[in-house]
Amino acid sequence: MHTLSIKEMSEGLRAKKFSSRELTAHYLARIERHDGALNSYITVTAERALKHAEAADARLERGDAHTLTGIPLAQKDIFCTLGVKTSCASKMLDSFIAPYDATIVQKLHHDAGMVMLGKCNMDEFAMGSSNETSFYGPVKNPWDTTRVPGGSSGGSVAAVAAGLAPAATASDTGGSIRQPAALCGLTGIKPTYGRVSRYGMIAFASSLDQAGVVARSAEDAAHVLQAMSGFDPLDSTSIERPVDDLVAGLGASIKGLKIGLPKEYFAEGLAASSREKIDAAIKTLQSLGAEIVEISLPNSPLSVPTYYVVAPAEASSNLARFDGVRYGHRAEGVKTLEELYKRSRGEGFGAEVQRRIMVGTYVLSHGYYDAYYLQAQKVRKLIYEDFKRAFERVDLVLGPTATDVAFGLGSKTDDPVAMYLNDIYTIAANLAGIPAMSLNCGFVEGLPVGLQLMGNYFSEARLLNVAHQFQQATDFHKQMPKAYV
Considering 20, 76, 87, 190, which one is annotated as catalytic? Answer: 76
**Looking at residue 100, what is its pLDDT?**
98
Considering 129, 176, 217, 303, which one is annotated as catalytic? Answer: 176
**Looking at residue 318, what is its pLDDT?**
96
The domain ranges of the chain are: 6-257+393-484
51 is catalytic: no
274 is catalytic: no
Strand arrangement, sheet containing 210-215 = 41-44, 115-120, 72-76, 167-172, 210-215, 187-190, 436-444, 447-455, 396-400, 258-262, 291-295
Hey, what CATH class is 6-257+393-484 in?
alpha beta
CA dihedral (316, 322, 325, 330) positive or negative: negative
Residues 422, 269 contacting (CB under 8 angstroms): no
On the 0-12 / 13-18 / 19+ scale of CB atoms within 10 A, 181 is buried
Q: What is the dihedral of CA 49, 55, 56, 62, to 10 degrees?
A: 180
How distant, in Å, are the alpha carbons of 13, 163, 169, 449 from that of 479? 24, 11, 21, 13
- How many other C-beta atoms lie within 10 A of the C-beta of residue 63? 7
The closest of 14, 31, 299 to 155, measured between CA atoms, is: 31
Give 183's DSSP letter: H
Considering 152, 153, 344, 438, which one is annotated as catalytic? Answer: 152
**Looking at residue 327, what is its pLDDT?**
87
- Cα(299)–Cα(327) distance, rounded to whole angstroms? 41
**Looking at residue 268, what is its pLDDT?**
87
Cα radius of gyration rounded to whole Å, the chain: 21
- Cα(438)–Cα(131) distance, rounded to whole angstroms? 18
438 is catalytic: no
Per residue of the chain (485 residues), give pLDDT as tens: 999 999 999 999 999 999 999 999 999 999 999 999 999 999 999 999 999 999 999 999 999 999 999 999 999 999 999 999 999 999 999 999 999 999 999 999 999 999 999 999 999 999 999 999 999 999 999 999 999 999 999 999 999 999 999 999 999 999 999 999 999 999 999 999 999 999 999 999 999 999 999 999 999 999 999 999 999 999 999 999 999 999 999 999 999 999 999 999 998 899 999 999 999 999 999 999 999 999 999 999 999 999 999 999 999 999 999 999 988 999 999 999 999 999 999 999 999 999 999 999 999 998 899 999 999 999 999 999 999 999 999 999 999 999 999 999 999 999 988 899 889 999 999 999 999 999 999 999 999 999 999 999 999 999 999 999 999 999 999 999 999 99
